[in-house]
Structure 1
Protein backbone atom coordinates (compact mmCIF):
# COMPACT_ATOMS: atom_id res chain seq x y z
CA UNK A 1 0.00 0.00 0.00
CA UNK A 2 1.49 3.29 -1.06
CA UNK A 3 0.81 6.66 0.43
CA UNK A 4 0.06 8.61 -2.73
CA UNK A 5 -1.55 7.16 -5.85
CA UNK A 6 -4.85 5.95 -7.20
CA UNK A 7 -5.04 2.41 -5.78
CA UNK A 8 -7.56 1.39 -3.11
CA UNK A 9 -5.21 2.05 -0.20
CA UNK A 10 -3.60 5.20 -1.54
CA UNK A 11 -4.32 8.75 -0.44
CA UNK A 12 -5.85 9.81 -3.77
CA UNK A 13 -7.70 6.50 -4.21
CA UNK A 14 -10.94 8.11 -2.99
CA UNK A 15 -11.43 9.62 -6.42
CA UNK A 16 -12.11 6.12 -7.77
CA UNK A 17 -15.00 5.50 -5.32
CA UNK A 18 -17.74 8.08 -5.80
CA UNK A 19 -19.89 6.90 -2.84
CA UNK A 20 -17.06 7.25 -0.30
CA UNK A 21 -15.97 10.56 -1.79
CA UNK A 22 -19.48 12.02 -1.73
CA UNK A 23 -20.22 10.83 1.82
CA UNK A 24 -16.93 12.20 3.12
CA UNK A 25 -17.51 15.64 1.68
CA UNK A 26 -21.21 15.85 2.66
CA UNK A 27 -21.31 14.06 6.05
CA UNK A 28 -17.73 13.65 7.32
CA UNK A 29 -18.89 13.14 10.92
CA UNK A 30 -20.80 9.99 9.92
CA UNK A 31 -17.85 8.62 7.94
CA UNK A 32 -15.52 9.19 10.91
CA UNK A 33 -17.95 7.24 13.09
CA UNK A 34 -18.18 4.34 10.63
CA UNK A 35 -14.38 4.15 10.42
CA UNK A 36 -14.19 4.01 14.21
CA UNK A 37 -16.84 1.28 14.19
CA UNK A 38 -14.78 -0.74 11.71
CA UNK A 39 -11.91 -0.87 14.22
CA UNK A 40 -14.19 -1.84 17.11
CA UNK A 41 -14.95 1.59 18.62
CA UNK A 42 -18.30 3.29 19.22
CA UNK A 43 -19.75 4.90 16.10
CA UNK A 44 -21.83 7.43 18.04
CA UNK A 45 -19.05 8.66 20.33
CA UNK A 46 -16.57 9.11 17.50
CA UNK A 47 -19.21 10.81 15.35
CA UNK A 48 -19.83 13.32 18.14
CA UNK A 49 -16.07 13.88 18.59
CA UNK A 50 -16.09 15.39 15.11
CA UNK A 51 -17.86 18.50 16.43
CA UNK A 52 -15.18 19.40 19.03
CA UNK A 53 -12.18 20.70 17.01
CA UNK A 54 -9.24 19.65 19.20
CA UNK A 55 -10.89 16.39 20.18
CA UNK A 56 -11.62 15.71 16.50
CA UNK A 57 -7.93 16.02 15.55
CA UNK A 58 -6.78 13.79 18.42
CA UNK A 59 -9.52 11.22 17.83
CA UNK A 60 -9.05 11.12 14.06
CA UNK A 61 -5.27 10.77 14.45
CA UNK A 62 -5.58 7.88 16.91
CA UNK A 63 -8.21 6.06 14.84
CA UNK A 64 -6.20 6.60 11.64
CA UNK A 65 -2.97 5.26 13.11
CA UNK A 66 -4.87 2.20 14.37
CA UNK A 67 -6.88 1.66 11.16
CA UNK A 68 -4.08 2.21 8.64
CA UNK A 69 -1.23 1.08 10.88
CA UNK A 70 1.02 4.06 10.25
CA UNK A 71 3.18 6.33 12.38
CA UNK A 72 1.17 8.65 14.66
CA UNK A 73 3.12 11.72 13.47
CA UNK A 74 2.30 10.97 9.82
CA UNK A 75 -1.33 10.37 10.80
CA UNK A 76 -1.45 13.73 12.59
CA UNK A 77 0.02 15.59 9.60
CA UNK A 78 -2.41 13.96 7.17
CA UNK A 79 -5.39 14.71 9.42
CA UNK A 80 -4.32 18.33 9.83
CA UNK A 81 -3.56 19.09 6.18
CA UNK A 82 -5.51 16.52 4.11
CA UNK A 83 -8.50 15.65 6.29
CA UNK A 84 -10.99 14.74 3.53
CA UNK A 85 -8.47 12.66 1.58
CA UNK A 86 -7.23 10.91 4.71
CA UNK A 87 -10.80 10.12 5.76
CA UNK A 88 -11.64 8.70 2.33
CA UNK A 89 -8.49 6.56 2.41
CA UNK A 90 -9.38 5.14 5.82
CA UNK A 91 -12.94 4.36 4.77
CA UNK A 92 -11.73 2.55 1.67
CA UNK A 93 -8.95 0.60 3.43
CA UNK A 94 -11.20 -0.51 6.30
CA UNK A 95 -14.13 -1.19 3.94
CA UNK A 96 -16.36 0.92 6.17
CA UNK A 97 -19.85 0.18 4.88
CA UNK A 98 -21.30 3.67 4.85
CA UNK A 99 -24.83 2.60 4.01
CA UNK A 100 -25.20 -0.26 6.51
CA UNK A 101 -27.00 -0.22 9.83
CA UNK A 102 -24.91 -0.51 13.00
CA UNK A 103 -23.92 -4.03 14.05
CA UNK A 104 -26.41 -4.07 16.95
CA UNK A 105 -29.33 -3.34 14.62
CA UNK A 106 -28.20 -6.03 12.16
CA UNK A 107 -28.03 -8.57 14.99
CA UNK A 108 -31.55 -7.64 16.16
CA UNK A 109 -32.91 -8.01 12.63
CA UNK A 110 -31.56 -11.56 12.44
CA UNK A 111 -33.08 -12.60 15.78
Structure 2
Protein backbone atom coordinates (compact mmCIF):
# COMPACT_ATOMS: atom_id res chain seq x y z
CA UNK A 1 0.00 0.00 0.00
CA UNK A 2 1.45 3.33 -1.02
CA UNK A 3 1.00 6.56 0.82
CA UNK A 4 0.03 8.69 -2.17
CA UNK A 5 -1.66 7.47 -5.32
CA UNK A 6 -4.97 6.53 -6.82
CA UNK A 7 -5.08 2.84 -5.93
CA UNK A 8 -7.93 1.62 -3.73
CA UNK A 9 -6.16 2.07 -0.38
CA UNK A 10 -3.86 4.98 -1.23
CA UNK A 11 -4.31 8.47 0.15
CA UNK A 12 -6.13 9.84 -2.89
CA UNK A 13 -7.96 6.59 -3.60
CA UNK A 14 -11.07 7.91 -1.85
CA UNK A 15 -12.46 8.87 -5.22
CA UNK A 16 -12.93 5.16 -5.96
CA UNK A 17 -15.45 4.80 -3.10
CA UNK A 18 -18.16 7.44 -3.43
CA UNK A 19 -20.02 6.44 -0.22
CA UNK A 20 -16.96 6.87 1.99
CA UNK A 21 -15.97 10.08 0.21
CA UNK A 22 -19.44 11.58 0.66
CA UNK A 23 -19.64 10.59 4.34
CA UNK A 24 -16.24 12.11 5.10
CA UNK A 25 -17.07 15.40 3.45
CA UNK A 26 -20.51 15.64 5.10
CA UNK A 27 -19.91 14.18 8.59
CA UNK A 28 -16.18 13.66 9.22
CA UNK A 29 -16.74 13.47 12.98
CA UNK A 30 -18.94 10.38 12.56
CA UNK A 31 -16.46 8.67 10.23
CA UNK A 32 -13.61 9.33 12.67
CA UNK A 33 -15.70 7.73 15.43
CA UNK A 34 -16.49 4.67 13.30
CA UNK A 35 -12.80 4.21 12.48
CA UNK A 36 -11.98 4.35 16.21
CA UNK A 37 -14.72 1.76 16.78
CA UNK A 38 -12.98 -0.67 14.41
CA UNK A 39 -9.91 -0.30 16.62
CA UNK A 40 -11.91 -1.24 19.73
CA UNK A 41 -12.29 2.32 21.00
CA UNK A 42 -15.37 4.39 21.86
CA UNK A 43 -17.16 5.73 18.79
CA UNK A 44 -18.90 8.49 20.77
CA UNK A 45 -15.75 9.70 22.54
CA UNK A 46 -13.74 9.94 19.33
CA UNK A 47 -16.65 11.58 17.51
CA UNK A 48 -16.80 14.28 20.19
CA UNK A 49 -13.02 14.84 20.03
CA UNK A 50 -13.59 16.22 16.54
CA UNK A 51 -15.15 19.38 17.99
CA UNK A 52 -12.09 20.36 20.09
CA UNK A 53 -9.44 21.54 17.55
CA UNK A 54 -6.16 20.59 19.28
CA UNK A 55 -7.64 17.40 20.71
CA UNK A 56 -8.95 16.51 17.24
CA UNK A 57 -5.47 16.72 15.68
CA UNK A 58 -3.96 14.56 18.43
CA UNK A 59 -6.84 12.06 18.31
CA UNK A 60 -6.89 11.82 14.51
CA UNK A 61 -3.11 11.35 14.46
CA UNK A 62 -3.24 8.52 17.03
CA UNK A 63 -6.14 6.82 15.25
CA UNK A 64 -4.34 7.07 11.90
CA UNK A 65 -1.13 5.71 13.36
CA UNK A 66 -3.01 2.69 14.75
CA UNK A 67 -5.22 2.15 11.69
CA UNK A 68 -2.61 2.51 8.97
CA UNK A 69 0.40 1.41 10.99
CA UNK A 70 2.64 4.29 10.10
CA UNK A 71 5.02 6.47 12.09
CA UNK A 72 3.28 9.01 14.38
CA UNK A 73 5.20 11.93 12.79
CA UNK A 74 4.10 10.94 9.29
CA UNK A 75 0.54 10.49 10.56
CA UNK A 76 0.61 13.99 12.05
CA UNK A 77 1.85 15.52 8.79
CA UNK A 78 -0.77 13.71 6.74
CA UNK A 79 -3.55 14.79 9.13
CA UNK A 80 -2.37 18.41 9.06
CA UNK A 81 -1.92 18.58 5.28
CA UNK A 82 -4.79 16.52 3.88
CA UNK A 83 -7.23 15.60 6.65
CA UNK A 84 -10.26 14.53 4.54
CA UNK A 85 -8.20 12.24 2.32
CA UNK A 86 -6.53 10.69 5.37
CA UNK A 87 -9.88 9.91 7.00
CA UNK A 88 -11.16 8.37 3.74
CA UNK A 89 -8.08 6.17 3.51
CA UNK A 90 -8.44 4.98 7.11
CA UNK A 91 -12.13 4.18 6.65
CA UNK A 92 -11.39 2.09 3.55
CA UNK A 93 -8.36 0.30 5.05
CA UNK A 94 -10.15 -0.58 8.32
CA UNK A 95 -13.43 -1.39 6.56
CA UNK A 96 -15.44 0.92 8.81
CA UNK A 97 -19.14 0.21 8.28
CA UNK A 98 -20.48 3.76 8.01
CA UNK A 99 -24.12 2.77 7.66
CA UNK A 100 -24.33 0.47 10.69
CA UNK A 101 -25.25 1.33 14.25
CA UNK A 102 -23.22 0.65 17.37
CA UNK A 103 -21.35 -2.62 16.86
CA UNK A 104 -21.19 -3.29 20.60
CA UNK A 105 -24.96 -3.16 21.12
CA UNK A 106 -26.57 -6.39 22.31
CA UNK A 107 -29.71 -7.34 20.36
CA UNK A 108 -32.87 -7.64 22.45
CA UNK A 109 -34.89 -10.84 22.41
CA UNK A 110 -38.44 -10.61 21.07
CA UNK A 111 -39.80 -13.22 23.43
TM-score (norm 1): 0.94
In structure 2, C-alpha distance between the alignment counterparts of 1:22 and 1:13, rounded to whole Å = 13
For residue 40 of structure 1, report the CA deviation from its aligned partner. Answer: 0.7
Paired positions, count: 110
Extract structure 1 runs of 4+ deviating beyond 4 A.
none
In structure 2, C-alpha distance between the alignment counterparts of 1:64 and 1:43, rounded to whole Å = 15
Give the structure 2 partner of residue 41 of structure 1.
Answer: 41
In structure 1, C-alpha distance between the alignment counterparts of 2:11 and 2:21, rounded to whole Å = 12
Instruction: Could you tell me which runs of 5 or more consecutive residues in structure 2 were left unpaired when the two chains were aligned.
Output: none
* 1:102 paired to 2:74: no
Cα deviation code 1:89-109 (max 9, x no counterpart): 00000000000111123x315
- C-alpha distance 104-84 of structure 1, shift in aligned 2 (>3 A): same
* 1:70 paired to 2:70: yes
Residues 15-30 of structure 1 aligned to structure 2 (within 5 Å): 15-30=15-30
In structure 2, C-alpha distance between the alignment counterparts of 1:39 and 1:101, rounded to whole Å = 16
* 1:86 paired to 2:86: yes
In structure 1, C-alpha distance between the alignment counterparts of 2:35 and 2:82, rounded to whole Å = 16
Instruction: Could you tell me which runs of 5 or more consecutive residues in structure 1 were left unpaired when the two chains were aligned.
Output: none
Give the structure 2 partner of residue 8 of structure 1.
Answer: 8
In structure 1, C-alpha distance between the alignment counterparts of 2:48 and 2:6, rounded to whole Å = 30
